[in-house]
Amino acid sequence: MLPIDDSPIVRDGKSLILAMDHGLEHGPVDFEDVPEKLDPATVFETATHDAVTAMAVQKGIAEGYYPSYEDDVNLLLKLNGTSNLWMGEPDSPVNCTVDYAAELGADAVGFTVYSGSNHEVEMYEEFRDAQESARDHDLPMVMWSYPRGQGLKNDTKPSTISYATRLALEIGADIAKVKYPGDPDAMEHACKAAGDMNVVMSGGSKTSDYDFLSTVEAAVNAGCTGLAVGRNVWQRENPTHILDALEKVIFEEETADAALEAAE
Amino acid sequence: MLPIDDSPIVRDGKSLILAMDHGLEHGPVDFEDVPEKLDPATVFETATHDAVTAMAVQKGIAEGYYPSYEDDVNLLLKLNGTSNLWMGEPDSPVNCTVDYAAELGADAVGFTVYSGSNHEVEMYEEFRDAQESARDHDLPMVMWSYPRGQGLKNDTKPSTISYATRLALEIGADIAKVKYPGDPDAMEHACKAAGDMNVVMSGGSKTSDYDFLSTVEAAVNAGCTGLAVGRNVWQRENPTHILDALEKVIFEEETADAALEAAE
Amino acid sequence: MLPIDDSPIVRDGKSLILAMDHGLEHGPVDFEDVPEKLDPATVFETATHDAVTAMAVQKGIAEGYYPSYEDDVNLLLKLNGTSNLWMGEPDSPVNCTVDYAAELGADAVGFTVYSGSNHEVEMYEEFRDAQESARDHDLPMVMWSYPRGQGLKNDTKPSTISYATRLALEIGADIAKVKYPGDPDAMEHACKAAGDMNVVMSGGSKTSDYDFLSTVEAAVNAGCTGLAVGRNVWQRENPTHILDALEKVIFEEETADAALEAAE
Amino acid sequence: MLPIDDSPIVRDGKSLILAMDHGLEHGPVDFEDVPEKLDPATVFETATHDAVTAMAVQKGIAEGYYPSYEDDVNLLLKLNGTSNLWMGEPDSPVNCTVDYAAELGADAVGFTVYSGSNHEVEMYEEFRDAQESARDHDLPMVMWSYPRGQGLKNDTKPSTISYATRLALEIGADIAKVKYPGDPDAMEHACKAAGDMNVVMSGGSKTSDYDFLSTVEAAVNAGCTGLAVGRNVWQRENPTHILDALEKVIFEEETADAALEAAE
Amino acid sequence: MLPIDDSPIVRDGKSLILAMDHGLEHGPVDFEDVPEKLDPATVFETATHDAVTAMAVQKGIAEGYYPSYEDDVNLLLKLNGTSNLWMGEPDSPVNCTVDYAAELGADAVGFTVYSGSNHEVEMYEEFRDAQESARDHDLPMVMWSYPRGQGLKNDTKPSTISYATRLALEIGADIAKVKYPGDPDAMEHACKAAGDMNVVMSGGSKTSDYDFLSTVEAAVNAGCTGLAVGRNVWQRENPTHILDALEKVIFEEETADAALEAAE
């Protein structure tokens, strides 16, 4: 962990990362109800919203679409990612080098680590290479810290999420992205386990406006410095509406109720 | 994905790639009915047809035969490829570096990726190395995007083909080569899943002139920017005849019927 | 083994290493009774005690907290380490290169080796790379020499601990950190098996002041040149108290009784 | 495949390669009836015969004996090779780099590839590295193309040998060394499958003078550009005698009968 | 094999290598009856005997003790070596690079190869890297040629030892160290299988003075150029006594009887 308050992906100590790598991780099925979003340009448009501090995409999407948005969007280049088609212990290929991410204009890089996978050893060593290369380029390292594997029955229980944030701190991430552990106390413990490192909550699959914003509110109150979200924004009919509300909950620390009301 | 309209392997936004790597992938058995085609020079001759925007071959064939055709044929050097003799999850050795492909005069490089194979992680990382090296040489990257492996029962179902084109976009291909998913709507969805990236249909095993051209016509109408074809051209007695027709269907967007009539 | 008496992590031939990598190896559960110690700064404060010759942490902790303590604490950067979440033969990913450790201001580097694991071959070769790189940077190499694996039933029996110190000497460590083999004669044999190399005892899980100090006294009498300790210091309410006592036992070779009395 | 008619290992388009790597591949048992041939100098003496265009040996033999014969013998340095003592799918370690082969004065390099082995992927990639390095040194690449492995019941059937020659052409060999497929038509097909690339027959285990020469005659008539032979030469009492006859069959395209008669 | 008669580890064509890597390969148990020999300095003292042409140790021992003996002892740095604690097919990690061995002042390097292990492929390739690097440093390569593995029932039968010496010659060793195959004829055959390469006998576990010297005498008569010995020297009460006798048997080719008598 290095100080990242001066990074463009953080504003007033907070981050709202819009992620769109679902075409790789889940496939076009995630776009079934919003087929127009198959066109990455539509999501980049959404990312121009003031509340969004960075957009997270894979290399190919960055190559093809970021040049048109580089003045309005900060790029978080996700370095690894995998399809969900194969079988075996969790792993994720490194699809982009940090050098190339820097060349594409990235403001930060992202890396998934499945601690607890029987491929943990390889993944940590790939993380190390990327992290040290990111240091050379002065690029913050965002770690998707997702314990998962044969030895883990439940990947969102409190002790797992606290371990997840701590692992990110120990091996050198600057921001940890973790799932919500189900209750605010557990989230608070996970944030403490991260020391001074920023922790952002994963948005997860689509829920109602209120449920989603309430969870974000709870996470922020528990110490999270923001959110990394995909489906709960771009699967909505009106992404701007929810981003307006998120801006209030995350950056102005308003309640979900107040934010929803204001956003009407 | 980078812009490739200026590449010699694309003409008016379309491509017709003649492929002849079957000696490696399937063995001489594919030449059983056309034994004279065992001589690669015969297929290079065919590739001098105006409709052909590139010829795809392995390194050894390029070394031995391309020097005689470099003025008349654009070279798409296929970087990986495997025999069909061994057993295990799909994989494909990298037989040629991008540096050497460039030295041989390649206008583009090709790479097979079996997403869904339990070797997906290794294949994506080999693809990354090749892709970033291709960027250094300004060579477009054509991805044979063929999901295949233990976890995949049917490799041409619509959702698989749409996933295949999307994966190619996400990890940084410039053109995806995929199998026809059986109907035009599925093909159209797959093309949309690819965003602005070019998609070419795989020619597959030999069928009748009409059946073949009709499928190409459907694919082009669905959004494909062309065809990569081997057996359906050089296994024919008169490759020129079918290439004349393909030129009309692909570049002039004529119907299969009209193209066949004109080619008589 | 190279001479290390001039190294800052050794004073008068002795070392007292305070270790805090438990957040990686065991998870936040080790901090359950001392939740305030989840904040690494608290442990760095403890490490400013005169008795402590080095503090051992992972890369991320060093990045985030060492800059505030570099004048008062010597850094022993632990290069590898793993979560306890996965299944399989013991192994440990290399999370930090020696080059980067040097950049962070490390005074020494640390490396766990599980001799006897079916991954021994890989671990020894990673140790070699780190050791030779450490030589280039003039950084002493502390080896956590922990035989463990399918073929080892009991990892603290005398012959195993003597083998552990000897292995560290043979493959090029400068200090071996080993578990206490249960009795002073066994510890003495293990120290002799190490030749002229320094051997420090591992602190292990928390015990009473007297039990802990008595074991340290026995180890020092048996030839150990000190202690590497975590939980037995920072899991205590008053770490300073036990460090005062340890200073007497280790550096002044007083008895546990005398040291405890003096520390009252 | 690059043009190799100017290479010293080819004379008038033909090659007669004397191979002696049996000490590695089979062990000293192959020398049981000719114990004096355990001394590699004796086989190098044989290789000074005018008919021999190259001698194929492993690195250690080349280091120790080639300096005395470099004016009279062309060196084909066999880069990989294995003992027959272990168990598992066919594979062959790379025992010599091309750089070092060039330093030893090699005129060409040789490489075994077991297509069909479950290690095919690794072997092809090692072949690639060697082949591209050989191109840098202007050294022809002779491929021992021996399909073998779990998926192959019969490694000399016609379709396998034709696939073997084709694979060598596709991945960039300059000469393929294959087993005789049992009849001249199959051999002819295999030569055609190799396009313009040279194909030499493997000598195999020792047979009678007539049987051996007849097979060579048939192979040459079928399109083979020569022979790579070991035991059928140096296991004979009088290697010069059989080399005299081979010279006539291979370079002067005489019949086995005529060659034997002339050699009396 | 390169000429090594000018190497300091050979005198009058003969070698007597004193080995002490048992602390790594077997553990301190080998020192049970001679606990003072746990101190490597004692064995280095023994190695100053005129008869000893080189002392073979691992990296860590060389770092710590060789500086005091570099004027009186030639260093044979053993590059790989393993504990006996793990389970699986034989293998041996490379614990020291040749570059670093040279920096430590090595006069030669040593490498164990378990031909016949299912890790043979990896071991041969590691041997290659070390051997070619040793060539760059003009350091002779001594190969501990020990066939061993799932496919080998008896690792000292005559055909195995002859294969062992031949393999060392083929892949580029300068001296092969092999076990005694049980009778002089078998040893002679093994020496012949090595061509002009030096072969030294392994000393093995401790036997009586007469039995040991008789075997050495037989080995020398059979063509061995010396001995590599550990336990049969330093496990003795009086190592000088046996070295005096070995000097006569190896360098003066006296009988075991005469040597023992003279040494009284």
Q: To the nearest whole number, what is the mean pLDDT of chain C?
A: 97
On chain C, the residues whose CB falls within 8 A of the CB of E33 are none
Per-residue pLDDT, averaged over A122-133, amounts to 98
CA distance D239 to chain E (A): 20
**Per-residue pLDDT reduced to its tens digit, A153-186:** 788 999 999 999 999 999 999 999 999 999 999 9
CA distance E243 to chain C (A): 24
CB–CB contact E121 D21 (8 Å) = no
**Per-residue pLDDT reduced to its tens digit, B71-99:** 999 999 999 999 999 999 999 999 999 99
Q: Which of B2, B128, B170 sits opposite A94 (nearest CB)?
A: B128
Best residue in B119, B131, B165, B170 for a mutation probing chain A (most A CBs within 10 Å): B170
CA dist E144 and C39 (Å) reads: 52
Give catalytic status of residue C177 as yes or no.
yes
Per the rule left: phi > 0, alpha: psi between -120 and 50, beta: everything else, B14 is beta
At residue D42, the 3 state secondary structure works out as helix
Choosing from D59, D78, D177, D179, the catalytic residue is D177
What ipTM, to 2 d.p.? 0.97
Helix axis angle, E120-136 relative to E158-171, nearest 10°?
Answer: 50
As given in the structure block, the two tokens for residue E19 are: 């080995």
CA dist D148 and B65 (Å) reads: 29
Which pLDDT band holds residue C155 (cuts at 50, 70, 90)? confident
Q: Which of B117, B151, B166 sits opposite A27 (nearest CB)?
A: B166
The partner residues of B11 in beta bridges, in order of sequence, read B14
Instruction: Rounding to the nearest 10 degrees, give the CA dihedral for residues E254, E256, E261, E262.
Output: 40
At residue B76, the 3 state secondary structure works out as strand
With residue C246 as reference, give the H or E element that holds it: helix C239-251
Best residue in C1, C170, C171, C191 for a mutation probing chain E (most E CBs within 10 Å): C170
CA dist B261 and B248 (Å) reads: 11
Say how many CB pairs under 8 Å bridge D and E.
118
**Per-residue pLDDT reduced to its tens digit, A22-77:** 999 999 999 999 999 999 999 999 999 999 999 999 999 999 999 999 999 999 99
CA distance B41 to chain D (A): 9
Q: Which of C132, C150, C196 sits opposite E97 (nearest CB)?
A: C132
Instruction: Rounding to the nearest 10 degrees, give the CA dihedral for residues A244, A249, A255, A261.
Output: 0
Per-residue pLDDT, averaged over B105-122, amounts to 98
Per-residue pLDDT, averaged over C216-240, amounts to 97
Per-residue pLDDT, averaged over A92-103, amounts to 98
Contact C34, C99 (CB under 8 A): no
Give catalytic status of residue A146 as yes or no.
yes
CA dist D52 and E241 (Å) reads: 56
CA dist B173 and B175 (Å) reads: 6
- Asked whether the CA dihedral D164, D169, D171, D177 is positive or negative, the reply is positive
pLDDT value for C158: 97
Contact E230, E203 (CB under 8 A): yes
**Within a 10 A sphere around the Cβ of D176, how many other Cβ atoms?**
29
- Residue spans of chain D under pLDDT 50: none
Residues of E forming the active site:
146, 177
Residues whose CB falls within 8 Å of the CB of residue C195, separated by 6 or more in sequence, listed in order: C1, C169, E38, E39, E40, E41, E61, E64, E65
CA separation, residue C72 to residues B141, C136, E134 (Å): 54, 25, 45
Contact call for E and B: 3+ CB–CB distances under 8 Å: no
Work out the burial of residue E122: count CB atoms within 10 Å of its CB; fewer than 13 is exposed, 13-18 middle, 19 or more buried: middle
**Neighbour subunits, B (≥3 Cβ pairs < 8 A):** A, D
Instruction: Rounding to the nearest 10 degrees, give the CA dihedral for residues C9, C12, C13, C16.
Output: -50
What's the start-to-end Cα distance of chain A, in Å?
39
Q: Name the amino acid, one letter, at D178.
A: V
CB–CB contact B83 D118 (8 Å) = no
DSSP state for residue B29 in the 8-state scheme: G
CB–CB contact E159 D64 (8 Å) = no
Per-residue pLDDT, averaged over B42-50, amounts to 98
Q: Is the pLDDT of residue B263 over 80?
A: no
**Per-residue pLDDT reduced to its tens digit, D4-21:** 999 999 999 999 999 999
Q: Where are the alpha helices (DSSP H) in chain E?
A: 22-25, 40-47, 59-65, 98-103, 120-136, 158-171, 184-193, 209-221, 231-234, 239-251, 256-263
- Using CA coordinates, name the residue in chain C closest to E65: C1
DSSP state for residue A125 in the 8-state scheme: H
Beta-strand pair B175-178/A198-202: unpaired
CB–CB contact B159 A87 (8 Å) = no
Residues whose CB falls within 8 Å of the CB of residue B252, separated by 6 or more in sequence, listed in order: none
As given in the structure block, the two tokens for residue D88 are: 């598992």
**Neighbour subunits, E (≥3 Cβ pairs < 8 A):** C, D
CA dist C219 and D180 (Å) reads: 72
Per-residue pLDDT, averaged over C49-53, amounts to 98
As given in the structure block, the two tokens for residue E7 are: 């190497």
pLDDT value for D151: 84
Domains along the sequence of chain E with CATH: 15-263 (3.20.20.70)
CB–CB contact A23 B193 (8 Å) = yes
CA distance C140 to chain E (A): 13
C-alpha neighbours within 13 Å on the C-beta side of residue C30? 25
CB–CB contact D40 E116 (8 Å) = no
Contact call for E and C: 3+ CB–CB distances under 8 Å: yes
pLDDT value for C175: 98
pLDDT by 10s per residue, chain E, length 264: 999 999 999 999 999 999 999 999 999 999 999 999 999 999 999 999 999 999 999 999 999 999 999 999 999 999 999 999 999 999 999 999 999 999 999 999 999 999 999 999 999 999 999 999 999 999 999 999 999 999 897 889 999 999 999 999 999 999 999 999 999 999 999 999 999 999 999 998 999 999 999 999 999 999 999 999 999 999 999 999 999 999 999 999 999 999 999 877
Per the rule left: phi > 0, alpha: psi between -120 and 50, beta: everything else, B116 is left
Residues of B forming the active site:
146, 177
Per-residue pLDDT, averaged over B118-143, amounts to 98
Q: Is the pLDDT of residue B154 over 90?
A: no
CB–CB contact D95 E1 (8 Å) = no
CB–CB contact A93 B120 (8 Å) = yes
